[in-house]
């Protein structure tokens, strides 16, 4: 059966995703849609002219929402990109309006597709897409902390001098400055990270001590550093999104930290956040819940945005989480409730 993916947004992220999918043959057919049709045509032409050199043929072209009909997956990257000095939250209201405009147009032609939201702030936009579309929850996935998780594993691999493939650790919560690393579940191969140094013997007898604060800072600040140095981030997020597509097209379910709607998990409802999800051909089919100690919880208001005339407030819920080797950690959960309501 032929597979088809539509990428909405022909900017740096969208075009890189389309390019990578064509090289890897993630799908048989790739459609690029953008409000700037000339830009979409140029990106599609550039990619298409290289496809004779790829291992398998792939059809890449620019189109409209109508051209997306029959897509298995729709990837939304449209919106105002993050600039140096900006946080992802600075983009909220503008990109909420973009999602509100796109959603009814694309779902009209792709009611059965699985949707991957990539635009920032991704957790808020994933939430908005839920609210303005009739797509089932399991078929709306935000790229979430999948990229943060990759950055974490890359940094740990550098510390430990092992392959990233042998590092198993996740980032939870918001894709942004308030994400959280549950260190107690991090592993190197099958060995708990916090026990790894005590169990391994090196010929040199030297193993760098893990600087947890530095690793967390590296993971959270990487995006801003890349934007400052080259103006945008797009390679690693493109790899992350292609990984989600591979999960959706795969014959076996995979585990990934992606943003999905929470429905009572950890006592939080009506919020999109990244937890460990089982992702397969039906979408984000279920969540794997790890024990968190919510004995201490504080909720504070951070920001707000409007949706269909209603004002929504963005809250952070702080959960005290104890982990071996760490005094405590804080997981800040992005909660969205109508402004004026109690949290």
Q: Chunked in runs of 10, what are the mean pLDDT values of the chain (343 residues)?
A: 95 97 96 97 97 93 97 95 70 86 97 96 92 95 96 94 94 84 88 84 69 91 92 94 95 92 84 93 91 45 57 51 38 43 41
Q: How far apart are CA 87 and CA 83, in angstroms?
A: 8
Give how many domains the chain has, as a whole number: 1
Domain residues for the domain of 16 are 4-142
For residue 121, whether the previous peptide bond is cis, meaning omega lies within 30 degrees of 0, is yes
CATH at 130: 3.40.50.720
Say if 247 falls within a structural domain.
no
Say if 210 falls within a structural domain.
no
Which tokens is 269 given?
A: 């409802």
Say if 92 falls within a structural domain.
yes
Say if 88 falls within a structural domain.
yes
SS3 of 169-227: the string is CCCEECCCCCCECCHHHCEECCEEHHHHHHHCCCCCCCCCCCCHHHHHHHHHHHHHHHH
Say if 157 falls within a structural domain.
no
- Clarify whether 25 is annotated catalytic: no
Say if 16 falls within a structural domain.
yes
Say if 46 falls within a structural domain.
yes
Report pLDDT digits (tens) over 185-237. 899 999 988 888 778 766 666 667 888 889 999 999 998 899 999 999 999 99
**Helices within the chain (DSSP H only):** 12-24, 37-48, 92-109, 122-132, 146-160, 193-199, 212-230, 235-249
Question: Which distant-in-sequence residues (6+ apart) come within 8 Å of 205 by Cβ?
Answer: none
Report pLDDT digits (tens) over 35-50. 999 999 999 999 999 9
Q: How far apart are CA 68 and CA 62, in angstroms?
A: 10
Say if 70 falls within a structural domain.
yes
* Active-site choice (25, 137, 168, 175): 175
Q: How far apart are CA 114 and CA 165, in angstroms?
A: 27
pTM to 2 decimal places:
0.86
């Amino acid at each position: 059966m032929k597979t088809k993916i539509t990428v909405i947004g022909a900017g740096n992220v969208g075009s890189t995703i389309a390019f990578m999918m064509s090289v890897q043959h993630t799908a048989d057919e790739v459609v690029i849609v953008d409000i700037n049709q000339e830009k979409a045509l140029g990106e599609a032409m550039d990619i298409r002219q290289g496809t004779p050199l790829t291992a398998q043929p792939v059809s890449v072209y620019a189109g409209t929402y109508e051209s997306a009909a029959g897509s298995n997956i729709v990837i939304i990257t449209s919106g105002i990109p993050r600039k140096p000095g900006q946080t992802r939250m600075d983009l909220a209201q503008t990109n909420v309006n973009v999602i509100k405009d796109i959603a009814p147009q694309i779902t009209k032609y792709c009611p059965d597709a699985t949707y991957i939201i990539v635009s920032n702030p991704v957790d808020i936009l994933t939430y908005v897409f839920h609210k303005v579309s009739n797509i089932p929850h399991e078929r709306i996935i935000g790229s979430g902390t999948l990229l943060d998780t990759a950055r974490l594993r890359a940094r740990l691999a550098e510390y430990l001098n092992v392959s990233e493939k042998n590092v198993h650790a996740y980032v939870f919560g918001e894709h942004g400055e308030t994400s959280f690393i549950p260190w107690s579940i991090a592993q190197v191969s099958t060995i708990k990270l916090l026990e790894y140094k005590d169990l391994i013997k090196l010929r040199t007898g030297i193993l760098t001590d893990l600087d947890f604060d530095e690793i967390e800072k590296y993971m959270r600040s990487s995006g801003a550093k890349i934007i400052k140095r080259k103006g945008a981030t797009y390679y690693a997020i493109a790899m992350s999104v292609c990984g989600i597509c591979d999960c959706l097209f795969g014959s076996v379910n995979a585990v990934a930290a992606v943003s999905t709607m929470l429905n009572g998990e950890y006592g939080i409802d009506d919020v999109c956040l990244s937890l460990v999800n089982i992702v397969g051909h039906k979408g984000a089919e279920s969540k794997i819940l790890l024990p968190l100690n919510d004995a201490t919880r504080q909720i504070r208001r951070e920001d707000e945005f409007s949706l269909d005339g209603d004002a929504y407030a963005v809250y952070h819920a702080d959960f005290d989480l104890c982990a071996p080797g760490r005094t405590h950690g804080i997981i800040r959960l992005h909660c969205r409730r109508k402004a004026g309501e109690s949290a």
